[in-house]
Amino acid sequence: MIIIVNDKMQQGYCYELTEPEGQNFAPDFKPELTPPQMLELGVFEGKYLNDCRNEFPLTWFYNAKTAPQSSPEINCFKLKSRLSLQEWQKRGWILEPDVRGWFQWYCRYYYGRRIPEIDKIQIKRWRAFARHAAQIRKNCPVFDYDCRPRQRQALLQWAYNPFI
């Protein structure tokens, strides 16, 4: 299946789905949350994929928390927890063809697109993010979700379970 992207940030980009949705991940990539779960739990202040609904299955958005403007209270931990896209670009964290960053890459990967050289880089970044879960486990009592809420929201936005 060929996906044609035409949204506010990307027009005319096409990719092929070569794997079944949510299957056949790289052996070292074991995300704990799916994109629909992340959207339902509140990621990126409800603003991230609002203009991308034609790219992904509509079922992903059935329970998604969205807002017309960025709204920190939509985030699972009710706080602003992200840098701007401009800051991500300045730091070199945006890799083509995923102009919105890691979560866009993950959504496309989960959906079934594979670009081996990009996938390898993004999976390495995801694996490195596990250090935040280790810090929460080391410094927070179990079930104390008020402990390190920024790190928990960041974990959620990288497909890790923040409720550790």
What pLDDT, on a 0 to 100 scale, did the predictor assign at position 87? 81
pLDDT at position 123 is 97
Q: Above 80 in pLDDT, residue 104?
A: yes
Q: Using the 8-state DSSP alphabet, how is residue 18 labeled?
A: -
Question: Could you read off the pLDDT of 64-95 as tens digits, one per residue?
Answer: 988 888 888 888 899 887 777 778 778 877 88
With beta carbons less than 8 A apart as the criterion, state whether 36 and 58 touch: no
Domain ranges of the chain: 2-130
Structure tokens at 12: 């005319």
User: Over the stretch 8-19, which tens digit does the pLDDT of each residue have?
Assistant: 989 999 999 999
C-alpha distances out from residue 115 to 18, 72, 83, 94, Å? 10, 32, 26, 15
Phi–psi pair at 147, nearest 5 degrees: -85, 120
- Write down the residue that tokens 């840098």 correspond to: 83
At 109-139, the pLDDT tens digits run 999 999 999 999 999 999 999 999 999 999 9
Tell me what pLDDT residue 66 has. 84
Mean pLDDT, the chain, integer: 92
Question: What is the CB neighbour count within 10 angstroms for residue 63?
Answer: 11
Task: Give the whole-number percent of the chain exceeding pLDDT 90.
Answer: 71
